[in-house]
Structure 1
Amino acid sequence: MRRVLPPVIVGVLALVLWELVVTLGRIAPFILPAPSAIWRELVTQRTNVWEAALASGTNALVGLVCGSLLAILAALLTSRSRILGEISVPFAAVINALPIIALAPILNNMFESTSSVPRRLVTAIVVFFPVFLNLLRGLREVNPVHQELMRTYAASGWTFARKVRLPGALPHLFTGLRQASSLAVIAAVVAEYFGGLQDGLGARITSAAAFTAYPRAWAFVAGACLLGLTFYLATLLLERLAMPWRQQLIS
Protein backbone atom coordinates (compact mmCIF):
# COMPACT_ATOMS: atom_id res chain seq x y z
CA MET A 1 0.00 0.00 0.00
CA ARG A 2 2.87 2.35 0.80
CA ARG A 3 4.23 1.82 -2.72
CA VAL A 4 0.89 2.40 -4.43
CA LEU A 5 -0.44 5.36 -2.45
CA PRO A 6 2.22 8.02 -3.29
CA PRO A 7 1.93 7.73 -7.10
CA VAL A 8 -1.88 7.66 -6.84
CA ILE A 9 -1.86 10.86 -4.78
CA VAL A 10 0.54 12.54 -7.21
CA GLY A 11 -1.64 11.48 -10.15
CA VAL A 12 -4.82 12.83 -8.55
CA LEU A 13 -3.13 16.13 -7.69
CA ALA A 14 -1.82 16.42 -11.25
CA LEU A 15 -5.34 15.90 -12.66
CA VAL A 16 -6.81 18.48 -10.27
CA LEU A 17 -4.11 20.99 -11.21
CA TRP A 18 -4.71 20.26 -14.90
CA GLU A 19 -8.45 20.86 -14.49
CA LEU A 20 -7.87 24.14 -12.64
CA VAL A 21 -5.36 25.43 -15.18
CA VAL A 22 -7.66 24.69 -18.12
CA THR A 23 -10.80 26.01 -16.42
CA LEU A 24 -9.43 29.13 -14.76
CA GLY A 25 -7.00 29.89 -17.56
CA ARG A 26 -9.76 29.46 -20.15
CA ILE A 27 -7.53 27.40 -22.40
CA ALA A 28 -9.19 26.44 -25.69
CA PRO A 29 -10.18 22.75 -25.94
CA PHE A 30 -8.25 22.32 -29.18
CA ILE A 31 -5.08 23.28 -27.28
CA LEU A 32 -5.67 21.23 -24.13
CA PRO A 33 -9.02 19.70 -23.10
CA ALA A 34 -9.90 19.46 -19.42
CA PRO A 35 -9.66 16.05 -17.71
CA SER A 36 -13.42 16.18 -17.04
CA ALA A 37 -14.12 16.56 -20.78
CA ILE A 38 -11.74 13.71 -21.58
CA TRP A 39 -13.44 11.53 -18.96
CA ARG A 40 -16.88 12.21 -20.45
CA GLU A 41 -15.60 11.21 -23.89
CA LEU A 42 -13.93 8.14 -22.43
CA VAL A 43 -17.23 7.02 -20.90
CA THR A 44 -19.18 7.82 -24.07
CA GLN A 45 -16.65 6.13 -26.36
CA ARG A 46 -15.84 3.25 -24.02
CA THR A 47 -16.89 0.61 -26.55
CA ASN A 48 -14.79 2.16 -29.32
CA VAL A 49 -11.85 2.64 -26.96
CA TRP A 50 -12.08 -0.99 -25.87
CA GLU A 51 -12.21 -2.28 -29.46
CA ALA A 52 -9.31 -0.07 -30.50
CA ALA A 53 -7.28 -1.08 -27.45
CA LEU A 54 -7.95 -4.73 -28.23
CA ALA A 55 -6.67 -4.29 -31.80
CA SER A 56 -3.58 -2.35 -30.73
CA GLY A 57 -2.99 -4.67 -27.78
CA THR A 58 -3.05 -7.73 -30.04
CA ASN A 59 -0.46 -6.19 -32.36
CA ALA A 60 1.67 -5.13 -29.40
CA LEU A 61 1.45 -8.57 -27.77
CA VAL A 62 2.35 -10.48 -30.94
CA GLY A 63 5.25 -8.14 -31.63
CA LEU A 64 6.43 -8.31 -28.02
CA VAL A 65 6.40 -12.11 -27.93
CA CYS A 66 8.07 -12.55 -31.33
CA GLY A 67 10.67 -9.84 -30.76
CA SER A 68 11.48 -11.13 -27.27
CA LEU A 69 11.86 -14.73 -28.43
CA LEU A 70 14.22 -13.67 -31.22
CA ALA A 71 16.18 -11.52 -28.76
CA ILE A 72 16.47 -14.38 -26.26
CA LEU A 73 17.69 -16.77 -28.95
CA ALA A 74 20.18 -14.20 -30.26
CA ALA A 75 21.49 -13.48 -26.75
CA LEU A 76 21.95 -17.18 -25.97
CA LEU A 77 23.90 -17.73 -29.19
CA THR A 78 25.93 -14.54 -28.80
CA SER A 79 26.94 -15.36 -25.22
CA ARG A 80 28.52 -18.59 -26.45
CA SER A 81 30.65 -17.01 -29.19
CA ARG A 82 32.95 -13.99 -29.09
CA ILE A 83 32.78 -13.62 -32.87
CA LEU A 84 28.98 -13.54 -32.81
CA GLY A 85 29.16 -10.95 -30.04
CA GLU A 86 31.39 -8.68 -32.11
CA ILE A 87 28.94 -8.93 -35.01
CA SER A 88 25.54 -8.99 -33.32
CA VAL A 89 25.93 -6.18 -30.77
CA PRO A 90 26.65 -3.47 -33.39
CA PHE A 91 23.89 -4.94 -35.58
CA ALA A 92 21.42 -4.75 -32.68
CA ALA A 93 22.48 -1.14 -32.08
CA VAL A 94 21.68 -0.33 -35.71
CA ILE A 95 18.25 -1.95 -35.33
CA ASN A 96 17.63 0.11 -32.21
CA ALA A 97 18.50 3.30 -34.10
CA LEU A 98 15.82 2.71 -36.75
CA PRO A 99 13.12 5.40 -36.33
CA ILE A 100 9.55 4.13 -36.14
CA ILE A 101 8.33 7.13 -38.15
CA ALA A 102 10.52 6.10 -41.10
CA LEU A 103 10.07 2.35 -40.73
CA ALA A 104 6.28 2.14 -40.37
CA PRO A 105 5.26 3.68 -43.74
CA ILE A 106 7.86 1.60 -45.59
CA LEU A 107 6.56 -1.64 -44.10
CA ASN A 108 2.96 -0.57 -44.72
CA ASN A 109 3.74 -0.22 -48.43
CA MET A 110 5.24 -3.71 -48.51
CA PHE A 111 2.02 -5.40 -47.37
CA GLU A 112 -1.69 -5.14 -48.09
CA SER A 113 -3.61 -2.27 -46.52
CA THR A 114 -5.70 -4.75 -44.52
CA SER A 115 -2.67 -6.53 -43.03
CA SER A 116 -1.55 -6.17 -39.42
CA VAL A 117 1.88 -7.62 -40.19
CA PRO A 118 3.67 -4.23 -40.61
CA ARG A 119 2.62 -3.04 -37.17
CA ARG A 120 3.69 -6.29 -35.56
CA LEU A 121 7.02 -6.18 -37.37
CA VAL A 122 7.64 -2.63 -36.17
CA THR A 123 6.82 -3.69 -32.62
CA ALA A 124 9.09 -6.75 -32.80
CA ILE A 125 11.99 -4.64 -34.09
CA VAL A 126 11.53 -2.05 -31.34
CA VAL A 127 11.42 -4.57 -28.47
CA PHE A 128 14.34 -6.65 -29.75
CA PHE A 129 17.16 -4.39 -28.54
CA PRO A 130 16.32 -3.93 -24.83
CA VAL A 131 15.61 -7.64 -24.33
CA PHE A 132 18.71 -8.73 -26.25
CA LEU A 133 21.10 -6.30 -24.58
CA ASN A 134 19.89 -6.88 -21.01
CA LEU A 135 19.84 -10.67 -21.32
CA LEU A 136 23.28 -10.74 -22.96
CA ARG A 137 24.66 -8.68 -20.10
CA GLY A 138 23.14 -11.07 -17.58
CA LEU A 139 24.54 -14.13 -19.36
CA ARG A 140 28.03 -12.64 -19.37
CA GLU A 141 28.04 -11.38 -15.77
CA VAL A 142 28.57 -14.68 -13.98
CA ASN A 143 29.65 -14.62 -10.34
CA PRO A 144 33.30 -15.86 -10.26
CA VAL A 145 32.65 -17.72 -6.99
CA HIS A 146 29.78 -19.67 -8.56
CA GLN A 147 31.85 -20.34 -11.66
CA GLU A 148 34.76 -21.71 -9.61
CA LEU A 149 32.39 -23.83 -7.52
CA MET A 150 30.90 -25.48 -10.61
CA ARG A 151 34.39 -26.19 -11.92
CA THR A 152 35.28 -27.81 -8.61
CA TYR A 153 32.32 -30.17 -9.00
CA ALA A 154 33.29 -30.81 -12.65
CA ALA A 155 29.86 -29.67 -13.81
CA SER A 156 29.02 -30.02 -17.48
CA GLY A 157 28.28 -27.02 -19.68
CA TRP A 158 24.54 -27.74 -19.57
CA THR A 159 24.56 -28.08 -15.77
CA PHE A 160 26.49 -24.83 -15.42
CA ALA A 161 24.03 -23.03 -17.69
CA ARG A 162 20.98 -24.50 -15.93
CA LYS A 163 22.19 -23.96 -12.36
CA VAL A 164 24.16 -20.72 -12.63
CA ARG A 165 24.09 -18.83 -15.92
CA LEU A 166 20.36 -18.88 -16.72
CA PRO A 167 19.04 -18.22 -13.16
CA GLY A 168 21.56 -15.39 -12.79
CA ALA A 169 20.41 -13.85 -16.07
CA LEU A 170 16.69 -13.88 -15.23
CA PRO A 171 16.69 -10.48 -13.44
CA HIS A 172 18.37 -8.91 -16.46
CA LEU A 173 15.87 -10.60 -18.78
CA PHE A 174 12.90 -9.17 -16.91
CA THR A 175 14.52 -5.74 -16.81
CA GLY A 176 14.57 -5.87 -20.60
CA LEU A 177 11.01 -7.21 -20.75
CA ARG A 178 9.73 -4.39 -18.53
CA GLN A 179 11.28 -1.85 -20.87
CA ALA A 180 10.02 -3.71 -23.93
CA SER A 181 6.44 -4.03 -22.65
CA SER A 182 5.92 -0.27 -22.68
CA LEU A 183 7.83 0.17 -25.94
CA ALA A 184 5.64 -2.47 -27.59
CA VAL A 185 2.47 -0.45 -26.98
CA ILE A 186 4.13 2.79 -28.11
CA ALA A 187 5.42 1.17 -31.29
CA ALA A 188 2.08 -0.48 -32.11
CA VAL A 189 0.15 2.77 -31.63
CA VAL A 190 2.63 4.97 -33.53
CA ALA A 191 2.77 2.48 -36.41
CA GLU A 192 -0.99 2.94 -36.85
CA TYR A 193 -0.51 6.62 -37.74
CA PHE A 194 0.82 5.72 -41.18
CA GLY A 195 -2.00 3.92 -42.96
CA GLY A 196 -3.24 0.36 -42.90
CA LEU A 197 -6.21 -0.86 -40.89
CA GLN A 198 -8.11 1.90 -39.08
CA ASP A 199 -9.04 -0.23 -36.08
CA GLY A 200 -6.36 0.66 -33.53
CA LEU A 201 -5.81 3.43 -31.02
CA GLY A 202 -3.31 5.28 -33.20
CA ALA A 203 -5.71 5.41 -36.15
CA ARG A 204 -8.57 6.56 -33.90
CA ILE A 205 -6.40 9.31 -32.39
CA THR A 206 -5.45 10.72 -35.79
CA SER A 207 -9.03 10.44 -37.06
CA ALA A 208 -10.48 12.26 -34.05
CA ALA A 209 -7.82 14.98 -34.24
CA ALA A 210 -8.48 15.44 -37.97
CA PHE A 211 -12.14 16.18 -37.18
CA THR A 212 -11.09 18.54 -34.33
CA ALA A 213 -12.68 16.20 -31.75
CA TYR A 214 -9.81 16.76 -29.36
CA PRO A 215 -11.43 15.44 -26.16
CA ARG A 216 -12.21 12.25 -28.06
CA ALA A 217 -8.61 12.04 -29.31
CA TRP A 218 -7.39 12.44 -25.74
CA ALA A 219 -9.80 9.71 -24.64
CA PHE A 220 -8.07 7.32 -27.03
CA VAL A 221 -4.71 8.57 -25.73
CA ALA A 222 -5.91 7.66 -22.23
CA GLY A 223 -6.82 4.22 -23.57
CA ALA A 224 -3.27 3.84 -24.90
CA CYS A 225 -1.87 4.83 -21.50
CA LEU A 226 -4.04 2.24 -19.76
CA LEU A 227 -2.98 -0.38 -22.30
CA GLY A 228 0.70 0.37 -21.70
CA LEU A 229 0.18 0.22 -17.94
CA THR A 230 -1.57 -3.15 -18.32
CA PHE A 231 1.37 -4.56 -20.28
CA TYR A 232 3.83 -3.28 -17.68
CA LEU A 233 1.88 -4.71 -14.73
CA ALA A 234 1.51 -8.04 -16.53
CA THR A 235 5.29 -8.15 -16.95
CA LEU A 236 5.77 -7.42 -13.24
CA LEU A 237 3.37 -10.24 -12.37
CA LEU A 238 5.20 -12.63 -14.68
CA GLU A 239 8.49 -11.65 -13.04
CA ARG A 240 7.11 -12.41 -9.57
CA LEU A 241 5.83 -15.80 -10.72
CA ALA A 242 9.12 -16.67 -12.42
CA MET A 243 11.37 -15.49 -9.58
CA PRO A 244 9.56 -15.88 -6.24
CA TRP A 245 12.87 -16.17 -4.40
CA ARG A 246 13.84 -12.63 -5.43
CA GLN A 247 10.71 -11.16 -3.85
CA GLN A 248 11.52 -13.02 -0.64
CA LEU A 249 15.04 -11.56 -0.62
CA ILE A 250 13.69 -8.04 -1.23
CA SER A 251 11.18 -8.47 1.61
Structure 2
Amino acid sequence: MVILPQEDLVAGEETLVHINRLVLENFKSYGRRKITLNLTKGLTVISGPNGCGKSNISDAIQFVIGQLRSKTIRSEKLAGVIFSGTKEGHKTAPHAKVTLILDNSKEPKEIPIATDEVHISRKVYQDGRSEYLLNGSRITRGEIIDTLAICSISIDGYNVIRQGEIANFASMSSLQIRNLFEEIAGIAAYDEKRDKAQKNLEDARTKLRIATVRLEESMKNLVRLEKEKEDA
Protein backbone atom coordinates (compact mmCIF):
# COMPACT_ATOMS: atom_id res chain seq x y z
CA MET A 1 0.00 0.00 0.00
CA VAL A 2 1.25 3.49 -0.89
CA ILE A 3 0.05 6.72 0.68
CA LEU A 4 0.71 9.37 -1.95
CA PRO A 5 3.10 12.25 -1.21
CA GLN A 6 1.21 15.25 0.07
CA GLU A 7 3.46 17.85 -1.50
CA ASP A 8 4.17 18.99 -5.04
CA LEU A 9 7.22 17.06 -6.28
CA VAL A 10 8.05 19.76 -8.85
CA ALA A 11 7.48 23.01 -7.02
CA GLY A 12 8.07 21.61 -3.54
CA GLU A 13 4.91 23.28 -2.24
CA GLU A 14 2.17 21.54 -0.33
CA THR A 15 -0.96 20.99 -2.40
CA LEU A 16 -3.04 18.91 0.03
CA VAL A 17 -3.56 19.02 3.75
CA HIS A 18 -1.18 16.58 5.44
CA ILE A 19 -2.34 13.62 7.54
CA ASN A 20 -0.22 13.69 10.69
CA ARG A 21 -1.60 10.55 12.30
CA LEU A 22 -4.23 7.87 11.90
CA VAL A 23 -5.54 6.31 15.12
CA LEU A 24 -7.44 3.01 15.02
CA GLU A 25 -9.34 1.55 17.96
CA ASN A 26 -10.86 -1.97 17.81
CA PHE A 27 -10.75 -1.73 14.02
CA LYS A 28 -10.95 -4.92 11.98
CA SER A 29 -7.92 -7.21 12.24
CA TYR A 30 -5.96 -4.83 14.47
CA GLY A 31 -7.68 -6.34 17.48
CA ARG A 32 -9.20 -4.97 20.62
CA ARG A 33 -6.61 -2.25 21.07
CA LYS A 34 -5.68 1.26 20.02
CA ILE A 35 -2.86 1.83 17.55
CA THR A 36 -1.42 5.03 16.09
CA LEU A 37 0.10 5.33 12.62
CA ASN A 38 2.42 8.34 12.32
CA LEU A 39 2.78 9.69 8.79
CA THR A 40 5.74 11.89 7.93
CA LYS A 41 5.58 14.25 4.97
CA GLY A 42 6.56 12.74 1.66
CA LEU A 43 5.94 9.25 0.32
CA THR A 44 4.83 6.59 2.81
CA VAL A 45 5.00 2.93 1.82
CA ILE A 46 3.30 0.27 3.95
CA SER A 47 4.43 -3.25 3.10
CA GLY A 48 3.86 -6.71 4.50
CA PRO A 49 2.60 -10.20 3.66
CA ASN A 50 -0.94 -10.88 2.49
CA GLY A 51 -3.50 -10.70 5.27
CA CYS A 52 -1.44 -8.53 7.62
CA GLY A 53 -3.89 -5.59 7.45
CA LYS A 54 -2.41 -3.21 4.86
CA SER A 55 -5.74 -2.67 3.09
CA ASN A 56 -7.46 -2.12 6.43
CA ILE A 57 -5.60 1.19 6.69
CA SER A 58 -7.20 2.52 3.50
CA ASP A 59 -10.52 1.09 4.73
CA ALA A 60 -10.07 3.08 7.95
CA ILE A 61 -9.50 6.31 6.02
CA GLN A 62 -12.61 5.67 3.91
CA PHE A 63 -14.58 4.90 7.07
CA VAL A 64 -13.58 8.01 9.01
CA ILE A 65 -14.34 10.43 6.16
CA GLY A 66 -17.97 9.26 6.16
CA GLN A 67 -18.24 6.32 3.77
CA LEU A 68 -21.66 4.64 4.12
CA ARG A 69 -21.24 1.85 1.57
CA SER A 70 -19.98 -1.11 3.56
CA LYS A 71 -18.79 -2.85 0.38
CA THR A 72 -16.32 0.01 -0.22
CA ILE A 73 -14.63 -0.75 3.09
CA ARG A 74 -14.79 -4.49 2.38
CA SER A 75 -17.39 -5.36 4.97
CA GLU A 76 -20.88 -6.88 4.83
CA LYS A 77 -22.17 -4.12 7.10
CA LEU A 78 -20.70 -1.03 8.75
CA ALA A 79 -20.59 -2.70 12.16
CA GLY A 80 -18.45 -5.37 10.50
CA VAL A 81 -15.38 -3.14 10.95
CA ILE A 82 -15.58 -3.76 14.72
CA PHE A 83 -13.07 -6.35 15.93
CA SER A 84 -15.10 -9.56 16.21
CA GLY A 85 -12.93 -11.51 18.63
CA THR A 86 -10.86 -14.65 18.11
CA LYS A 87 -11.04 -18.35 18.86
CA GLU A 88 -8.18 -17.81 21.31
CA GLY A 89 -10.52 -15.96 23.65
CA HIS A 90 -10.20 -12.32 22.61
CA LYS A 91 -13.67 -10.83 23.10
CA THR A 92 -15.66 -8.88 20.53
CA ALA A 93 -15.25 -5.12 20.97
CA PRO A 94 -18.35 -2.96 21.68
CA HIS A 95 -17.39 -0.38 19.07
CA ALA A 96 -14.72 0.69 16.60
CA LYS A 97 -13.30 4.18 16.28
CA VAL A 98 -10.99 5.83 13.76
CA THR A 99 -9.46 9.29 14.16
CA LEU A 100 -7.84 11.22 11.32
CA ILE A 101 -5.48 13.94 12.57
CA LEU A 102 -4.84 16.63 9.97
CA ASP A 103 -2.08 19.24 9.99
CA ASN A 104 -3.60 22.71 10.20
CA SER A 105 -0.50 24.65 11.27
CA LYS A 106 -0.01 26.46 7.97
CA GLU A 107 -1.05 30.13 7.89
CA PRO A 108 -3.56 31.10 6.73
CA LYS A 109 -5.41 28.07 8.09
CA GLU A 110 -6.38 25.59 5.38
CA ILE A 111 -9.27 24.48 7.59
CA PRO A 112 -10.98 27.47 9.28
CA ILE A 113 -10.48 26.14 12.81
CA ALA A 114 -8.13 27.86 15.27
CA THR A 115 -6.04 24.78 16.09
CA ASP A 116 -2.79 23.52 14.56
CA GLU A 117 -4.26 20.03 14.30
CA VAL A 118 -7.79 18.99 13.39
CA HIS A 119 -9.06 15.70 14.83
CA ILE A 120 -11.85 14.06 12.84
CA SER A 121 -13.30 10.90 14.37
CA ARG A 122 -15.98 8.37 13.58
CA LYS A 123 -17.25 5.75 15.98
CA VAL A 124 -19.55 2.86 15.06
CA TYR A 125 -21.44 0.63 17.50
CA GLN A 126 -22.60 -2.97 17.20
CA ASP A 127 -26.14 -1.85 16.26
CA GLY A 128 -24.73 0.09 13.28
CA ARG A 129 -25.10 3.58 14.77
CA SER A 130 -22.33 6.03 13.94
CA GLU A 131 -21.26 9.21 15.65
CA TYR A 132 -18.88 11.84 14.34
CA LEU A 133 -16.54 14.10 16.29
CA LEU A 134 -14.61 17.22 15.34
CA ASN A 135 -11.88 18.02 17.86
CA GLY A 136 -13.82 16.01 20.43
CA SER A 137 -17.22 17.66 19.86
CA ARG A 138 -20.10 15.73 18.30
CA ILE A 139 -21.23 16.96 14.90
CA THR A 140 -23.20 15.57 11.97
CA ARG A 141 -21.89 13.54 9.06
CA GLY A 142 -22.79 16.44 6.75
CA GLU A 143 -20.62 18.81 8.77
CA ILE A 144 -17.72 16.34 8.57
CA ILE A 145 -18.11 16.12 4.79
CA ASP A 146 -18.24 19.93 4.45
CA THR A 147 -15.13 20.32 6.62
CA LEU A 148 -13.18 17.76 4.59
CA ALA A 149 -14.35 19.31 1.31
CA ILE A 150 -12.48 22.49 2.26
CA CYS A 151 -9.21 20.56 1.92
CA SER A 152 -10.36 18.58 -1.16
CA ILE A 153 -11.07 15.31 0.67
CA SER A 154 -14.17 13.57 -0.63
CA ILE A 155 -15.87 10.24 0.02
CA ASP A 156 -16.32 9.56 -3.68
CA GLY A 157 -13.15 11.32 -4.76
CA TYR A 158 -9.75 9.81 -5.45
CA ASN A 159 -7.97 10.56 -2.19
CA VAL A 160 -7.91 6.79 -1.71
CA ILE A 161 -7.39 4.66 -4.83
CA ARG A 162 -8.71 1.16 -4.24
CA GLN A 163 -7.60 -2.14 -5.72
CA GLY A 164 -8.66 -2.56 -9.33
CA GLU A 165 -9.21 1.14 -10.02
CA ILE A 166 -5.90 1.59 -11.88
CA ALA A 167 -7.11 -0.86 -14.54
CA ASN A 168 -10.37 1.08 -14.78
CA PHE A 169 -8.47 4.32 -15.41
CA ALA A 170 -6.59 2.73 -18.32
CA SER A 171 -9.85 1.82 -20.09
CA MET A 172 -11.57 5.21 -19.64
CA SER A 173 -12.74 7.29 -22.59
CA SER A 174 -11.42 10.83 -23.09
CA LEU A 175 -14.67 12.26 -21.69
CA GLN A 176 -14.46 10.04 -18.61
CA ILE A 177 -10.84 11.10 -18.06
CA ARG A 178 -11.87 14.76 -18.32
CA ASN A 179 -14.66 14.22 -15.79
CA LEU A 180 -12.19 12.43 -13.53
CA PHE A 181 -9.73 15.33 -13.57
CA GLU A 182 -12.55 17.81 -12.94
CA GLU A 183 -13.61 15.75 -9.93
CA ILE A 184 -10.06 15.53 -8.58
CA ALA A 185 -9.54 19.27 -9.10
CA GLY A 186 -12.78 20.01 -7.29
CA ILE A 187 -14.44 21.55 -10.36
CA ALA A 188 -17.25 18.98 -10.36
CA ALA A 189 -18.28 20.00 -6.85
CA TYR A 190 -18.48 23.66 -7.89
CA ASP A 191 -20.49 22.69 -11.00
CA GLU A 192 -22.95 20.86 -8.77
CA LYS A 193 -23.27 23.87 -6.45
CA ARG A 194 -23.68 26.18 -9.48
CA ASP A 195 -26.45 24.00 -10.93
CA LYS A 196 -28.20 23.93 -7.56
CA ALA A 197 -27.89 27.72 -7.23
CA GLN A 198 -29.28 28.21 -10.75
CA LYS A 199 -32.23 25.96 -9.95
CA ASN A 200 -32.90 27.89 -6.73
CA LEU A 201 -32.71 31.16 -8.69
CA GLU A 202 -35.18 29.90 -11.30
CA ASP A 203 -37.53 28.70 -8.54
CA ALA A 204 -37.32 32.15 -6.93
CA ARG A 205 -38.09 33.85 -10.26
CA THR A 206 -41.12 31.59 -10.77
CA LYS A 207 -42.42 32.41 -7.29
CA LEU A 208 -41.83 36.12 -7.97
CA ARG A 209 -43.84 35.95 -11.22
CA ILE A 210 -46.70 34.20 -9.41
CA ALA A 211 -46.61 36.76 -6.60
CA THR A 212 -46.62 39.61 -9.15
CA VAL A 213 -49.70 38.20 -10.92
CA ARG A 214 -51.50 37.78 -7.59
CA LEU A 215 -50.60 41.32 -6.57
CA GLU A 216 -51.95 42.71 -9.85
CA GLU A 217 -55.20 40.77 -9.37
CA SER A 218 -55.50 42.05 -5.81
CA MET A 219 -54.95 45.64 -6.98
CA LYS A 220 -57.66 45.25 -9.63
CA ASN A 221 -60.06 43.87 -7.01
CA LEU A 222 -59.21 46.75 -4.69
CA VAL A 223 -59.95 49.32 -7.42
CA ARG A 224 -63.23 47.56 -8.23
CA LEU A 225 -64.29 47.50 -4.58
CA GLU A 226 -63.41 51.18 -4.15
CA LYS A 227 -65.54 52.03 -7.19
CA GLU A 228 -68.46 49.94 -5.90
CA LYS A 229 -68.16 51.72 -2.55
CA GLU A 230 -68.31 55.13 -4.20
CA ASP A 231 -71.30 54.11 -6.35
CA ALA A 232 -73.16 52.87 -3.29
Q: TM-score, normalised on structure 2?
A: 0.23
Higher helix share: 1
Q: TM-score, normalised on structure 1?
A: 0.21
Rg comparison, structure with higher value: 2
Higher strand share: 2
RCO comparison, higher one (Cα < 8 Å, 6+): 1
